[in-house]
Amino acid sequence: MEAYLYKPLKEKKVKCTLCSHRCIIKDGKRGICGVRENRDGILESLVYGRLIAKHIDPIEKKPLFHFLPGSISYSIATVGCNFKCLFCQNADISQMASDHNGMIIGDYCSPKDVVDAAEKGKCKSIAYTYTEPTVFFEFAFDTAKLAHERGIRNVFITNGYMSSEALNMISPYLDAANVDLKAFTKSFYKEICGAKLEPVKETLKLMKKLGIFVEVTTLLIPGLNDGAEELKELALFIAGSLGTETPWHVSAFYPTYRLTDRPPTPVESLVMAREIGIKAGLRYVYTGNLPGDNGENTFCYSCGKLLINRLGFSIIKNVLEKGRCPYCGAQIDGICL
Protein backbone atom coordinates (compact mmCIF):
# COMPACT_ATOMS: atom_id res chain seq x y z
CA MET A 1 0.00 0.00 0.00
CA GLU A 2 1.25 3.50 -0.84
CA ALA A 3 2.56 5.30 2.22
CA TYR A 4 0.71 8.33 3.60
CA LEU A 5 3.69 10.49 4.51
CA TYR A 6 6.51 10.99 2.02
CA LYS A 7 7.79 13.38 -0.63
CA PRO A 8 8.94 12.43 -4.15
CA LEU A 9 12.46 13.60 -5.05
CA LYS A 10 14.57 13.61 -8.20
CA GLU A 11 15.88 10.40 -9.76
CA LYS A 12 12.96 8.42 -8.28
CA LYS A 13 14.20 8.96 -4.74
CA VAL A 14 11.71 9.67 -1.96
CA LYS A 15 11.93 11.33 1.44
CA CYS A 16 9.90 9.55 4.11
CA THR A 17 8.35 12.04 6.54
CA LEU A 18 6.81 9.49 8.88
CA CYS A 19 9.45 9.60 11.60
CA SER A 20 12.33 11.78 12.71
CA HIS A 21 14.91 9.80 10.72
CA ARG A 22 13.33 11.37 7.60
CA CYS A 23 15.06 8.77 5.44
CA ILE A 24 15.93 9.58 1.84
CA ILE A 25 15.35 6.28 0.06
CA LYS A 26 16.63 5.30 -3.37
CA ASP A 27 14.49 3.34 -5.83
CA GLY A 28 14.32 -0.30 -4.76
CA LYS A 29 15.61 0.37 -1.24
CA ARG A 30 13.97 0.49 2.19
CA GLY A 31 14.13 2.95 5.07
CA ILE A 32 15.79 2.32 8.42
CA CYS A 33 12.60 0.62 9.67
CA GLY A 34 12.98 -2.09 7.03
CA VAL A 35 9.27 -2.11 6.17
CA ARG A 36 8.84 0.89 3.86
CA GLU A 37 10.19 0.48 0.33
CA ASN A 38 10.66 2.84 -2.60
CA ARG A 39 9.12 1.18 -5.63
CA ASP A 40 9.67 3.19 -8.78
CA GLY A 41 9.45 6.50 -6.93
CA ILE A 42 6.44 5.52 -4.80
CA LEU A 43 6.97 4.76 -1.12
CA GLU A 44 4.99 1.71 -0.07
CA SER A 45 4.25 0.14 3.30
CA LEU A 46 5.11 -3.55 3.24
CA VAL A 47 3.26 -4.29 6.48
CA TYR A 48 -0.21 -2.84 5.91
CA GLY A 49 -2.55 -5.31 7.61
CA ARG A 50 0.17 -7.95 8.06
CA LEU A 51 -0.18 -8.58 11.76
CA ILE A 52 2.57 -10.54 13.49
CA ALA A 53 0.74 -10.36 16.82
CA LYS A 54 -2.81 -9.85 18.02
CA HIS A 55 -3.75 -10.48 21.64
CA ILE A 56 -6.10 -9.30 24.36
CA ASP A 57 -4.06 -7.81 27.21
CA PRO A 58 -4.75 -5.96 30.44
CA ILE A 59 -4.18 -2.24 29.83
CA GLU A 60 -1.75 -2.39 32.77
CA LYS A 61 0.61 -4.51 30.64
CA LYS A 62 1.32 -1.60 28.31
CA PRO A 63 1.96 -0.16 30.98
CA LEU A 64 -0.86 2.35 31.33
CA PHE A 65 -1.95 2.68 34.96
CA HIS A 66 -4.03 5.85 34.74
CA PHE A 67 -5.94 5.10 31.54
CA LEU A 68 -9.05 2.95 31.94
CA PRO A 69 -7.49 0.92 34.81
CA GLY A 70 -8.69 -2.66 35.01
CA SER A 71 -9.84 -2.75 31.38
CA ILE A 72 -8.59 -4.96 28.56
CA SER A 73 -7.03 -3.82 25.30
CA TYR A 74 -6.88 -5.51 21.89
CA SER A 75 -3.17 -5.39 21.10
CA ILE A 76 -1.66 -5.59 17.61
CA ALA A 77 1.73 -5.32 15.92
CA THR A 78 3.52 -5.82 12.64
CA VAL A 79 7.17 -6.55 11.92
CA GLY A 80 9.58 -3.61 12.01
CA CYS A 81 11.03 -0.78 14.07
CA ASN A 82 12.76 2.53 13.39
CA PHE A 83 15.13 2.00 16.37
CA LYS A 84 17.94 -0.55 16.68
CA CYS A 85 17.96 -0.92 20.47
CA LEU A 86 20.63 -3.37 21.61
CA PHE A 87 18.38 -4.41 24.51
CA CYS A 88 15.12 -4.94 22.56
CA GLN A 89 12.87 -7.44 24.31
CA ASN A 90 10.87 -8.10 21.13
CA ALA A 91 13.78 -8.20 18.67
CA ASP A 92 12.49 -11.38 17.05
CA ILE A 93 9.69 -9.35 15.47
CA SER A 94 10.86 -5.73 15.67
CA GLN A 95 14.20 -6.49 13.98
CA MET A 96 13.02 -9.36 11.78
CA ALA A 97 13.47 -7.48 8.50
CA SER A 98 16.95 -6.18 9.33
CA ASP A 99 18.19 -9.42 10.94
CA HIS A 100 16.75 -11.80 8.33
CA ASN A 101 17.47 -10.30 4.92
CA GLY A 102 14.31 -8.22 4.71
CA MET A 103 11.91 -10.98 5.74
CA ILE A 104 8.38 -9.84 6.58
CA ILE A 105 5.63 -12.16 7.76
CA GLY A 106 2.20 -11.71 9.28
CA ASP A 107 -1.45 -12.63 8.90
CA TYR A 108 -3.50 -10.35 6.66
CA CYS A 109 -6.21 -8.41 8.48
CA SER A 110 -8.28 -5.35 7.65
CA PRO A 111 -8.93 -2.45 10.03
CA LYS A 112 -12.49 -3.73 10.28
CA ASP A 113 -11.22 -7.18 11.31
CA VAL A 114 -9.28 -5.62 14.17
CA VAL A 115 -12.10 -3.40 15.38
CA ASP A 116 -14.60 -6.27 15.14
CA ALA A 117 -12.27 -8.48 17.19
CA ALA A 118 -11.87 -5.73 19.79
CA GLU A 119 -15.63 -5.39 20.07
CA LYS A 120 -16.14 -9.13 20.30
CA GLY A 121 -13.52 -9.33 23.06
CA LYS A 122 -15.22 -6.49 24.97
CA CYS A 123 -12.03 -4.44 24.80
CA LYS A 124 -12.25 -0.77 25.76
CA SER A 125 -9.24 0.11 23.61
CA ILE A 126 -6.92 -0.99 20.83
CA ALA A 127 -3.21 -0.89 21.63
CA TYR A 128 -0.65 -0.51 18.87
CA THR A 129 2.27 -2.14 20.64
CA TYR A 130 4.99 -4.85 20.90
CA THR A 131 6.93 -3.24 18.02
CA GLU A 132 6.96 0.45 17.07
CA PRO A 133 3.47 1.47 15.84
CA THR A 134 4.88 4.36 13.82
CA VAL A 135 6.25 1.93 11.22
CA PHE A 136 2.77 0.54 10.53
CA PHE A 137 1.24 3.99 10.70
CA GLU A 138 -1.10 3.64 7.71
CA PHE A 139 -2.78 0.57 9.17
CA ALA A 140 -2.82 2.08 12.66
CA PHE A 141 -4.37 5.29 11.35
CA ASP A 142 -7.13 3.53 9.39
CA THR A 143 -7.87 1.23 12.33
CA ALA A 144 -7.85 4.02 14.91
CA LYS A 145 -10.24 6.10 12.84
CA LEU A 146 -12.73 3.23 12.57
CA ALA A 147 -12.34 2.34 16.25
CA HIS A 148 -13.00 5.97 17.19
CA GLU A 149 -16.26 5.87 15.23
CA ARG A 150 -17.30 2.80 17.24
CA GLY A 151 -16.41 4.28 20.62
CA ILE A 152 -13.23 2.26 21.16
CA ARG A 153 -10.18 4.15 22.43
CA ASN A 154 -6.73 3.99 20.81
CA VAL A 155 -3.34 3.85 22.52
CA PHE A 156 0.24 3.88 21.18
CA ILE A 157 3.09 2.16 23.00
CA THR A 158 5.91 3.98 21.29
CA ASN A 159 9.49 5.17 21.25
CA GLY A 160 8.19 8.65 20.45
CA TYR A 161 10.14 9.07 17.21
CA MET A 162 7.19 9.79 14.93
CA SER A 163 7.29 13.07 13.01
CA SER A 164 5.09 15.99 13.99
CA GLU A 165 3.23 15.44 10.71
CA ALA A 166 2.34 11.88 11.71
CA LEU A 167 1.38 12.81 15.25
CA ASN A 168 -0.82 15.70 14.15
CA MET A 169 -2.49 13.43 11.60
CA ILE A 170 -3.45 10.69 14.05
CA SER A 171 -4.03 12.87 17.12
CA PRO A 172 -7.82 13.22 16.65
CA TYR A 173 -8.09 9.43 17.12
CA LEU A 174 -5.23 8.79 19.57
CA ASP A 175 -6.37 8.85 23.19
CA ALA A 176 -3.27 7.84 25.10
CA ALA A 177 0.35 6.82 24.75
CA ASN A 178 3.05 5.26 26.83
CA VAL A 179 6.29 6.71 25.52
CA ASP A 180 9.69 5.18 26.19
CA LEU A 181 12.07 7.90 27.32
CA LYS A 182 14.95 5.48 27.19
CA ALA A 183 17.61 7.73 28.68
CA PHE A 184 18.48 11.39 28.94
CA THR A 185 21.79 11.56 27.05
CA LYS A 186 22.47 11.99 23.35
CA SER A 187 25.19 9.34 23.50
CA PHE A 188 22.82 6.62 24.80
CA TYR A 189 20.30 7.26 22.03
CA LYS A 190 22.99 7.29 19.35
CA GLU A 191 25.06 4.32 20.50
CA ILE A 192 22.41 2.06 22.05
CA CYS A 193 19.28 2.91 20.01
CA GLY A 194 20.53 4.33 16.70
CA ALA A 195 18.50 7.51 17.16
CA LYS A 196 18.45 10.97 18.77
CA LEU A 197 17.06 12.19 22.08
CA GLU A 198 15.66 15.60 21.10
CA PRO A 199 12.88 14.36 18.73
CA VAL A 200 11.51 12.15 21.53
CA LYS A 201 11.35 15.12 23.89
CA GLU A 202 9.58 17.17 21.23
CA THR A 203 7.07 14.37 20.60
CA LEU A 204 6.25 14.17 24.29
CA LYS A 205 5.64 17.90 24.51
CA LEU A 206 3.50 17.86 21.36
CA MET A 207 1.42 14.95 22.68
CA LYS A 208 0.61 16.93 25.80
CA LYS A 209 -0.25 19.98 23.72
CA LEU A 210 -2.59 17.90 21.54
CA GLY A 211 -4.42 16.54 24.59
CA ILE A 212 -3.16 12.96 24.32
CA PHE A 213 -2.88 11.31 27.74
CA VAL A 214 0.77 10.40 28.34
CA GLU A 215 2.62 8.02 30.62
CA VAL A 216 6.42 7.62 30.40
CA THR A 217 8.57 4.51 30.80
CA THR A 218 12.32 4.26 31.39
CA LEU A 219 14.13 0.91 31.48
CA LEU A 220 17.10 1.25 33.84
CA ILE A 221 20.24 -0.42 32.45
CA PRO A 222 23.14 -0.69 34.89
CA GLY A 223 26.00 1.61 33.98
CA LEU A 224 24.28 3.07 30.93
CA ASN A 225 21.33 5.24 32.00
CA ASP A 226 20.92 4.72 35.75
CA GLY A 227 23.10 7.50 37.13
CA ALA A 228 21.45 9.69 39.76
CA GLU A 229 22.20 12.96 37.97
CA GLU A 230 20.82 11.73 34.64
CA LEU A 231 17.67 10.41 36.31
CA LYS A 232 17.22 13.73 38.09
CA GLU A 233 17.40 15.61 34.78
CA LEU A 234 14.96 13.16 33.19
CA ALA A 235 12.48 13.45 36.07
CA LEU A 236 12.70 17.24 36.05
CA PHE A 237 12.00 17.23 32.31
CA ILE A 238 8.85 15.16 32.85
CA ALA A 239 7.69 17.39 35.70
CA GLY A 240 8.54 20.67 33.99
CA SER A 241 7.64 19.96 30.35
CA LEU A 242 4.84 17.39 30.68
CA GLY A 243 3.44 18.11 34.13
CA THR A 244 3.78 16.60 37.59
CA GLU A 245 0.61 14.60 36.91
CA THR A 246 2.46 12.48 34.31
CA PRO A 247 3.01 8.90 35.55
CA TRP A 248 6.60 7.66 35.27
CA HIS A 249 7.37 3.93 35.13
CA VAL A 250 10.94 2.87 35.92
CA SER A 251 11.49 -0.75 34.98
CA ALA A 252 14.11 -3.40 35.61
CA PHE A 253 16.41 -4.51 32.78
CA TYR A 254 17.29 -8.15 32.10
CA PRO A 255 20.09 -9.13 29.67
CA THR A 256 18.72 -9.79 26.19
CA TYR A 257 19.32 -9.56 22.42
CA ARG A 258 22.66 -7.79 21.87
CA LEU A 259 23.11 -6.45 25.37
CA THR A 260 23.94 -9.52 27.43
CA ASP A 261 27.06 -8.19 29.15
CA ARG A 262 25.07 -6.10 31.64
CA PRO A 263 23.60 -7.48 34.89
CA PRO A 264 19.91 -7.19 35.77
CA THR A 265 18.88 -3.91 37.38
CA PRO A 266 19.43 -3.90 41.16
CA VAL A 267 16.35 -3.18 43.24
CA GLU A 268 18.23 -0.30 44.85
CA SER A 269 18.46 1.50 41.48
CA LEU A 270 14.71 1.39 41.03
CA VAL A 271 14.12 2.61 44.58
CA MET A 272 16.58 5.46 43.95
CA ALA A 273 14.85 6.41 40.71
CA ARG A 274 11.47 6.47 42.41
CA GLU A 275 12.78 8.71 45.16
CA ILE A 276 14.31 11.03 42.56
CA GLY A 277 10.99 11.21 40.70
CA ILE A 278 9.00 11.99 43.84
CA LYS A 279 11.55 14.65 44.86
CA ALA A 280 11.22 16.21 41.38
CA GLY A 281 7.53 16.65 42.12
CA LEU A 282 6.05 13.75 40.17
CA ARG A 283 2.81 12.52 41.70
CA TYR A 284 3.02 8.94 40.47
CA VAL A 285 6.26 6.96 40.07
CA TYR A 286 6.07 3.21 39.57
CA THR A 287 8.78 0.53 39.76
CA GLY A 288 8.14 -2.44 37.52
CA ASN A 289 9.40 -5.70 36.08
CA LEU A 290 10.25 -7.09 39.51
CA PRO A 291 8.68 -10.35 40.81
CA GLY A 292 6.48 -9.70 43.82
CA ASP A 293 7.21 -5.98 43.85
CA ASN A 294 4.50 -3.67 45.19
CA GLY A 295 5.92 -0.62 43.44
CA GLU A 296 3.03 -0.68 40.98
CA ASN A 297 0.33 0.36 43.44
CA THR A 298 -1.31 3.77 43.03
CA PHE A 299 -1.33 6.05 46.06
CA CYS A 300 -3.10 9.37 46.52
CA TYR A 301 -0.62 12.16 45.90
CA SER A 302 -2.45 14.30 48.45
CA CYS A 303 -3.06 12.09 51.49
CA GLY A 304 -0.86 9.11 50.66
CA LYS A 305 -3.57 6.44 51.02
CA LEU A 306 -3.53 3.29 48.87
CA LEU A 307 -6.05 3.64 46.03
CA ILE A 308 -5.29 0.87 43.53
CA ASN A 309 -3.67 -2.37 44.67
CA ARG A 310 -2.04 -4.28 41.78
CA LEU A 311 -0.58 -7.76 41.57
CA GLY A 312 1.22 -8.33 38.30
CA PHE A 313 -1.14 -7.05 35.61
CA SER A 314 -4.22 -7.57 37.76
CA ILE A 315 -6.03 -5.10 39.97
CA ILE A 316 -6.83 -6.58 43.39
CA LYS A 317 -8.59 -3.51 44.73
CA ASN A 318 -9.60 -0.11 43.35
CA VAL A 319 -11.27 2.31 45.76
CA LEU A 320 -11.41 5.34 43.45
CA GLU A 321 -14.82 7.00 43.33
CA LYS A 322 -15.39 8.70 39.98
CA GLY A 323 -11.67 9.33 39.73
CA ARG A 324 -11.38 10.78 43.23
CA CYS A 325 -9.68 9.64 46.39
CA PRO A 326 -12.43 8.51 48.80
CA TYR A 327 -10.35 9.60 51.80
CA CYS A 328 -9.50 13.23 50.96
CA GLY A 329 -11.43 13.93 47.75
CA ALA A 330 -8.36 14.67 45.59
CA GLN A 331 -8.88 14.23 41.85
CA ILE A 332 -6.53 11.48 40.69
CA ASP A 333 -5.03 12.26 37.30
CA GLY A 334 -5.94 10.10 34.33
CA ILE A 335 -8.91 8.69 32.48
CA CYS A 336 -11.04 6.29 34.51
CA LEU A 337 -13.90 4.00 33.49
Q: What angle do CA 17, 21, 25 make, to 5 degrees?
A: 70
How far does the chain reach from its first CA to its final CA, in angstroms? 36
pLDDT recorded at residue 288: 87
Q: Are 110 and 49 in contact (CB under 8 A)?
A: yes
pLDDT recorded at residue 336: 83
pLDDT > 90? residue 334: yes
Beta bridge partners of 314: 311
Percentage of the chain modeled with pLDDT above 90: 96
Domains of the chain: 6-45 (no CATH), 50-318 (3.20.20.70)
pLDDT recorded at residue 293: 62
pTM higher than the cut 0.85: yes
DSSP 56-101: EEEGGGTT-SSBSTT-EEEEEE-S--S---TT-TTHHHHTHHHHTT
DSSP 143: H
pLDDT > 70? residue 337: no
Query: Which H or E run contains 118?
Result: helix 111-120
DSSP 144: H
Q: Are 178 and 218 in contact (CB under 8 A)?
A: no
Annotated binding site for [4Fe-4S] cluster, which residues?
A: 81, 85, 88
Burial state string for 140-154 with b = 16 or more CB within 10 A and e = fewer than 16: bbbbbebbbeeebbb
Annotated binding site, which residues?
A: 81, 85, 88
pLDDT > 80? residue 310: yes
| pLDDT, tens digit, 9 for 90 and up, residues 254-270 | 999 999 999 999 999 99
pLDDT recorded at residue 291: 66
| pLDDT, tens digit, 9 for 90 and up, residues 37-64 | 999 999 999 999 999 999 999 999 999 9
CA distance linking residue 214 with residue 175, whole number of Å: 9
Mean pLDDT of 68-95: 97
